[in-house]
Amino acid sequence: MTRVLIVDDQDDIRAGIRAMLLLDPSLEVVGALSDGLQAVPFLREHPVDLVLMVPQP
């Protein structure tokens, strides 16, 4: 199973990405955070295989 962390500042974007990823049984969404500053300590405690982070324009 691939462990995924979602990082985006918009709640609706995070929710939409999470909903799409949950359709794939080979993926496990382990977290959904609002910014990269939250991601660093999270990743120290929760190993993941993939981080989906949407860049700011």
What is the domain-level CATH number for residue 22? 3.40.50.2300
Is residue 27 classed exposed, middle or buried when 0-12, 13-18 and 19+ CB atoms within 10 A define those classes? middle
Number of domains in the chain: 1
What tens-digit pLDDT sequence spans the chain (57 residues)? 999 999 999 999 999 999 999 999 999 999 999 999 999 999 999 999 999 997 777
Domain residues for 7?
2-53
Q: Got the DSSP string for 5-51?
A: EEE-S-HHHHHHHHHHHTTSTTEEEEEEESSHHHHHHHHHHS--SEE
